[in-house]
Structure 1
Amino acid sequence: MAMRPGLDKIIDDCRAAGSTLGDVVGTMSETQLREPSALPAWSRAHVLAHLTNVGDAAARQVEYAARGELVEFYDGGRAARDSAIEADSALGLADHQQRVVRMLERLAAAWPESGSPMWEQPVTFREGTVTDVALMWWREIRIHLLDVDLGVDVESWSEDFCRHLFDFLTPRLPAGGYVELRPDDSAPWRFPPASVADDETGWLVVRGPIRDVALWLAGRQPRQMPKAARDGQPVDLPELRPWPAARG
């Protein structure tokens, strides 16, 4: 299984992604805000509304955890989340710009210090810890920066991030099978984990550039569609199961 990088490296990449988001939003026009994003049925305003809301929700999880308290990720659950995205997507460009800046500042202030035991403090998000909140934000900002579709491309995804997606998105792979993701430009990744010496009969192998495999697994359009084979014979790419649902 892919191992995630250290938390310091993850938070540094989140900060870098936040800086990129600020630059993108700061130079966006009102027309561009209303144009379609790379996500079906969502404008760029919808993506920004979602990113701002999820960033604020992440910060709130950490702020409550610092007080030894638990709070729901979204007050009102999924329905309230969806309503907020629709309502906030109608805001003007200046409001979106200000909200993004405030959200990023709030998150920066919320993250614990490097090495702090606070990283293992429980939260309601996925019944996990503050570390799980950081990983969630890493996924959200890196993936949705691409969805904004204004000059940020998949080359902004590090190999560490791609391998984290492989790990997190395991539930999307076909149930009950043996799957190897075999990037052309990186080491193979297997689920369930197995050594190279194990019998390879029956393994479904999906291969392509690591970022394209990660895009496919994340439900985004790869630049070059990965190819699948079983026992050396080409087969169709498997149908992916739903995105892993949060429990909190």
Structure 2
Amino acid sequence: MARTLNDARRWAEEGTKLFGDAVDRLTPAEYDTPSALPGWSRKHLVAHVAANADALGNLVHWAATGEVTPMYASLAERSAGIERGVAMPAAELSAWSAHAAETLATQLGYLTRAQWQAEVVTVQGRTIPAAEIPWLRSREVLVHAVDLDRGLGFADLPEDFLRALVEDICLKRGLAADDLPTGPLPEVTAWLAGRPHALADAPEIGAWL
């Protein structure tokens, strides 16, 4: 499917709410328990998503002003941001997550038609138009809402988002439609993303995102 900017902005908004609601339901003790991502607590995951909003905000600033503003000054800064969040009390981390998400949404709302086409560079070194930023954010908040392991599954995510995500991951993994196992869309998406799934005969595949 050909996703549009409006699609991505809608998914980012829905994902931000899903992720935020899941975070709000965490008790202080639950922050320190494991997420669905190996080696990461829920604190790690919330800090990662909060730092991602701040980093994508740098790209929005770049698009809006023309001032080169990388997502992160370095990979070490990226890791340090997560560890800083892990060290925060639960209430402070939750407040950072909510404020960062709200700030990013506000920044995106001010971009003009021309600014959406401005080129920026992701942390992986890809040059993209700013119109791709909402898609990057939608992937983060929707997939990681599942990774928080608070009862959400891929079946709870928007179906059109899942179709777009399957296309995106297939492109990155070099897979064709014929390479995909047969099964419900949410389970195939979970498999492609390297998450737990209910497909009986799907081969092992590495983690993504």
TM-score w.r.t. length of structure 1: 0.75
CA RMSD of superposed structures (Å): 2.2
Q: Cα distance, 1:155 vs. partner?
A: 2.2
Distance change >3 Å, CA 110–CA 241, structure 1 → 2: same
User: Which one-letter code corresponds to 1:62 in the other structure?
Assistant: V
Bigger fraction of residues in strand: 1
Distance change >3 Å, CA 226–CA 129, structure 1 → 2: farther
Who is 2:199 aligned against? 225
Q: How does 1:195-214 map to 2 (within 5 A)?
A: 204-214=179-189
Who is 2:119 aligned against? 122
Q: Cα distance, 1:113 vs. partner?
A: 5.5
Per-residue deviation, residues 99-125 of structure 1 (Å, max 9, x unmatched): 012112211111146872221111111
Further displaced range: 213-222 or 14-23 = 14-23
CA contact (8 A) 1:208 1:227 kept: no
Looking at structure 1, the residues matched to 25 and 96 of structure 2 have their Cα atoms a distance apart, in angstroms, of: 15
Who is 1:55 aligned against? 53
Who is 2:8 aligned against? 10
Unaligned runs of 5+ in 1: 181-202, 229-236
Per-residue deviation, residues 86-111 of structure 1 (Å, max 9, x unmatched): 23212111111210121122111111
SS of the residue 1:123 aligns to: strand
Distance change >3 Å, CA 159–CA 114, structure 1 → 2: farther
CA contact (8 A) 1:112 1:118 kept: no
Distance change >3 Å, CA 83–CA 217, structure 1 → 2: same
**Selected match of 1:103 from 86, 89, 100:** 100
Larger RCO (CA within 8 A; separation ≥ 6): 2
Looking at structure 1, the residues matched to 26 and 53 of structure 2 have their Cα atoms a distance apart, in angstroms, of: 20
Who is 1:171 aligned against? 172
Looking at structure 2, the residues matched to 30 and 242 of structure 1 have their Cα atoms a distance apart, in angstroms, of: 28
Distance change >3 Å, CA 227–CA 139, structure 1 → 2: same
Q: Cα distance, 1:219 vs. partner?
A: 0.8
User: Which one-letter code corresponds to 2:73 in the other structure?
Assistant: D
Per-residue deviation, residues 116-163 of structure 1 (Å, max 9, x unmatched): 222111111121111222111111111111111112222232222112
Q: Size of the alignment, in residue pairs?
A: 205
TM-score w.r.t. length of structure 2: 0.88
Q: How does 1:84-103 map to 2 (within 5 A)?
A: 84-103=81-100
When Rg is computed on C-alpha atoms for both structures, the one with the higher figure is 1
Q: Cα distance, 1:25 vs. partner?
A: 2.0
Unaligned runs of 5+ in 2: none
CA contact (8 A) 2:19 2:144 kept: no
Percentage of identical aligned residues: 29
Bigger fraction of residues in helix: 2
Q: Cα distance, 1:205 vs. partner?
A: 5.0
